[in-house]
Amino acid sequence: MKHKLVRKAVREFAEAELGPIAHDIDRDARFPWEVVEKMRPLNFFGLQVSRDFGGAGLDSISYAIAVEEISRISGAMGLCVTVHNSVGAYPIERFGTEDQKRRFLPRLASGESIGAFCLTEANAGSDASGVETIAVDAGECFVLNGTKIFVTNGGVCSLPLVFAVSDPSDPTGSSCVFVVEKTMPGFSVGEMEDLCGMRANPVSSIFLEDVRVPRENLIGGIGDGTKIALATLDTGRIGIAAQAVGIAQAAFEAAVKYSKERQQFKRPISSFQSIQNMIADMAVSIDAARLLVYRVCAVRDAGGRFGKEAAMAKLYASTICSEVASKAVQIHGGYGYSKEYDVERYFRDAKVTEIYEGTSEIQRMVISRWVLSESM
Amino acid sequence: MASELPWDPKTRTLRRDLAEGMMNPACKQALELALGLGQKEGAQVTAITMGPPMAEEILREAIAMGAHRGLLITDPALAGSDTYATSFTLARAIEIFCPDFDLILTGCHTTDSETAQVGPQLAEELGIASAAYVDEVTVEGGTARLRRVSDGFLETLEIDLPCLVTVNTTNRSPRYVPLSGLEDAFGEVNILSVGVADLGIDPALVGADGSPTRIVDVTAPRSGKENVVLTGAPKKIVEELLERFESRISGLIRQDIRKSDAR
């Protein structure tokens, strides 16, 4: 009953507040601050943050449902919410000290500050050990220098997490994570990326030039960075998988509706078997993806290891998301290729779910490692 | 809407089981008004519903929005109750579980049967004053001040507490459900579930047997709209148009169409 009400509550909000603008914010590549203001008191920015720090303290399934429902209306805002919650706030709650949680989590949970996760660099992405951003220990603080790219929420974040190394000769052994304030001297945001999809999210580069970050902003210790990154990405994958399900659902609903309306040869195209087959395949794959997402949530809430389940859900959900969106365009014919119809946006938004938070190739690597080590 | 739900000729009731469970929109307006008044006046808000056990969901939603407690009146003996039996049952529940109430707010009507009867009947059962189709309520001391639009006039009424007010569907956008509220609504919350025995009600007085109303049939009214196509020479068309519609159009635009600048 709770999960049903979570879906209802988020759907009601998303349809009413994001529905009318989802198309325009994509076209204009505009981040809708006015909607963010309305999301704040409803706990969209502290979905799983504990109640003590101002969050809603939701279980993982509720979290996935919330991301799914926002993404069903606007993939770009679903992205903002999932990244903020799962890789912006969660690492602080999981690995931070009491003092760090007290200082940072209420700001993130209220949405006063938007979070981000700065890992990817020109020479680092799937390979986290390629990080070249350097953090030099200067006693009371660390001095950070480097350039991060493709930072989701980059243009709007004010409390991002930044991954660095303190010793370039030992990138894994010296990997570390800092909470960085946007207001720190030397921190700057580059141009917004001109992306294929998710255009309402200000994805950008972030430059760090002699940014002095207090020692008490180091999450975990020196050498913990890779561990934190991997744990964070496991959680982040649940969010992206949920996002992919939401986008696929939107494309599916649009395709079903259109197939009943569009008349060819004097009958609705939904009466043709070739369309029916596509619709059946879409329905099955979305359901299967959704169940994979809820399974990893259940495993996570039960306290189990969920890396494999998260990778499976993310791989499958993002794969079918692209397939479903492509079929939805196909069913719409020429109109589906027009910016007048939303399926064109779903089609563009879908692709990146196969790329970020670990590409499909990386997910297969993760899954096969688990499988091969389990069967030994 | 009544016409959107299929009619079961055997039981002579609407097939409400086919509708997705939801809070009646007018009642949601009443709840929003109650929560606003509750915050302003420091009052306790109790959400009450009568229905099948699944109606508990509505009370959880009400608590997530900010209500302090919920009362679920559910009993197989209540199935098929008409508006009279429903008002009777609600009145007994309120007498027992909310004896010190100041104000009862209900939706002006339901979207399934749209009778708009339960609110006023409930006031009669409780022997209190009532007003229907109200847009705004403010409370000062022992008096409630109400505003409503009636026959094109804006009315301001005063009414002594305790009283019952049915709330219109216009004018307010109910608050969204905060997710932390939903989390709370599934924690240790005060939802009381009661049946006819708890209310000291004779089952013969409620349910289908205790309901005097018999609905004979439900039909959708025929729309009076029709498209008229006038053909012929322009002069003839204009003359015919004026002949057939002049008085109606002049009445609608409130000026003589023959003298209007819009000519």
- Token match 């993002």: residue? A318
pLDDT at B263: 44
Question: pLDDT band at B218, cuts 50/70/90?
Answer: confident
Average pLDDT over residues B101-109: 93
| Mean per-residue pLDDT over chain A, rounded | 95
Same domain, yes or no, for B106 and B229? no
SS3 A284: helix
pLDDT digits 0-9 by tens, A226-281:
999 999 999 999 999 999 999 999 999 999 999 999 999 999 999 999 999 999 99
Question: pLDDT band at B5, cuts 50/70/90?
Answer: low
* pLDDT at position B20 over 70: no
Residue B211 domain-assigned (yes or no)? no
Residue B26 domain-assigned (yes or no)? yes
pLDDT digits 0-9 by tens, A38-67:
999 999 999 999 999 999 999 999 999 999
Same domain, yes or no, for B69 and B148? yes
pLDDT at B2: 45
Average pLDDT over residues B38-42: 91
Q: Which percentage of chain B shows pLDDT scores above 70?
A: 92
pLDDT at B257: 76
pLDDT at A66: 98
Residue B155 domain-assigned (yes or no)? yes
Task: Give, rounded to a whole angstrom, the gap between the first and last alpha carbons of chain A.
Answer: 41
The answer to whether the beta carbons of residues B217 and B2 sit under 8 Å apart is no
Give the residue, B92 or B173, on which the prediction is more confident: B92
Cα–Cα separations (whole angstroms), residue A175 to A131, A237, A278: 8, 21, 47
SS3 A313: helix
Chain B residue numbers with beta carbons less than 8 Å from the beta carbon of A18 are none
CA torsion A344-A347-A352-A353 (nearest 10°) is 130
Same domain, yes or no, for B196 and B230? no
Interface touch B180/A57, C-beta < 8 Å: yes
Residue B210 domain-assigned (yes or no)? no
The answer to whether the beta carbons of residues A24 and A35 sit under 8 Å apart is no
Same domain, yes or no, for B151 and B248? no
The answer to whether the beta carbons of residues A154 and A205 sit under 8 Å apart is yes
| Mean per-residue pLDDT over chain B, rounded | 87
Residue B1 domain-assigned (yes or no)? no
* pLDDT at position A320 over 90: yes
Interface touch A9/B56, C-beta < 8 Å: no
Q: Which percentage of chain B shows pLDDT scores above 90?
A: 52
Minimum distance, in Å, between the CA of residue B257 and any CA atom of chain A: 39
Same domain, yes or no, for B20 and B147? yes
pLDDT at B255: 76
Cα–Cα separations (whole angstroms), residue B236 to B233, B239, B242, B260: 5, 5, 10, 20
Cα–Cα separations (whole angstroms), residue A305 to A95, A297, A309: 16, 11, 9
Closest CA to A346 of A258, A268, A261, A245: A245
pLDDT at B18: 62
Interface touch A56/B178, C-beta < 8 Å: yes
pLDDT at A359: 95
Give the amino acid at B257: I
pTM, whole model, 2 decimals? 0.87
Cα–Cα separations (whole angstroms), residue A8 to A286, B57, B73, B147: 19, 11, 24, 32
SS3 A303: coil
Same domain, yes or no, for B166 and B238? no
Eight-state DSSP code of residue B163 = E
Distance separating alpha carbons of residues B111 and B20, to the nearest angstrom = 12
Residues 6+ apart with CB under 8 A from A306: A234, A238, A296, A299, A300
Distance separating alpha carbons of residues A19 and A179, to the nearest angstrom = 34
Highest mean pLDDT (candidates A211-225, B112-126, B247-261)? A211-225
Please pick, among A15, A357, A361, A374, the residue that the annotation labels catalytic: A357
Chain A residue numbers with beta carbons less than 8 Å from the beta carbon of B186 are 1-2
* pLDDT at position B4 over 70: no
Chain A residue numbers with beta carbons less than 8 Å from the beta carbon of B56 are 1
Interface touch A57/B57, C-beta < 8 Å: no
Same domain, yes or no, for B160 and B118? yes
Eight-state DSSP code of residue A121 = B
Cα–Cα separations (whole angstroms), residue A43 to A62, A88, A247, B32, B39: 12, 15, 22, 20, 20
Residues 6+ apart with CB under 8 A from B167: B26, B29, B30, B33, B105, B106, B107, B108, B134, B135, B137
pLDDT digits 0-9 by tens, A61-106:
999 999 999 999 999 999 999 999 999 999 999 999 999 999 999 9
Residue A263's DSSP bridge partners are A268
Distance separating alpha carbons of residues A372 and A312, to the nearest angstrom = 15
Closest CA to A235 of A55, A70, A93: A93
Residue B218 domain-assigned (yes or no)? no
Task: Give, rounded to a whole angstrom, the gap between the first and last alpha carbons of chain B.
Answer: 41
**B184 touching chain A per CB within 8 A:** no
Same domain, yes or no, for B15 and B50? yes
Question: pLDDT band at B245, cuts 50/70/90?
Answer: confident
Same domain, yes or no, for B146 and B36? yes
Question: pLDDT band at B1, cuts 50/70/90?
Answer: very low
Average pLDDT over residues A134-155: 96
Residues 6+ apart with CB under 8 A from A355: none
Average pLDDT over residues B209-230: 81
**How many domains is chain B partitioned into structurally?**
2
CATH no. for residue B96?
Answer: 3.40.50.620
- Token match 């399974």: residue? A295
Chain A residue numbers with beta carbons less than 8 Å from the beta carbon of B180 are 43, 46, 51, 55-57
Helices A75-82 and A60-73, packing angle to 10 deg:
150
SS3 A150: strand
The answer to whether the beta carbons of residues B55 and B74 sit under 8 Å apart is yes
* pLDDT at position A300 over 80: yes
**B95 touching chain A per CB within 8 A:** no
Same domain, yes or no, for B183 and B241? no
* Least confident residue range of A158-162, A167-171, B9-13, B22-26: B9-13
Question: pLDDT band at B261, cuts 50/70/90?
Answer: low
Residue B92 domain-assigned (yes or no)? yes
Give the amino acid at A27: R
Average pLDDT over residues B41-50: 94
Chain A residue numbers with beta carbons less than 8 Å from the beta carbon of B60 are 1-2, 5
Note if A15 is an active site residue.
no
**B179 touching chain A per CB within 8 A:** yes
pLDDT at B22: 82
Cα angle for residues B136, B142, B145 (degrees, 5° grid): 20
Domain that holds residue B130: 7-205
Interface touch A9/B176, C-beta < 8 Å: yes
SS3 A134: strand
* pLDDT at position A118 over 90: yes
Chains A & B: contacts with CB separation below 8 Å:
57
Interface touch B179/A4, C-beta < 8 Å: no
**Selected residues 29-58 of chain A with any CB under 8 Å from a CB in chain B:** 38, 41-44, 46-47, 51, 55-58
Residue B217 domain-assigned (yes or no)? no
Same domain, yes or no, for B172 and B263? no
Interface touch A9/B177, C-beta < 8 Å: yes
Same domain, yes or no, for B235 and B190? no
Distance separating alpha carbons of residues B140 and B138, to the nearest angstrom = 7
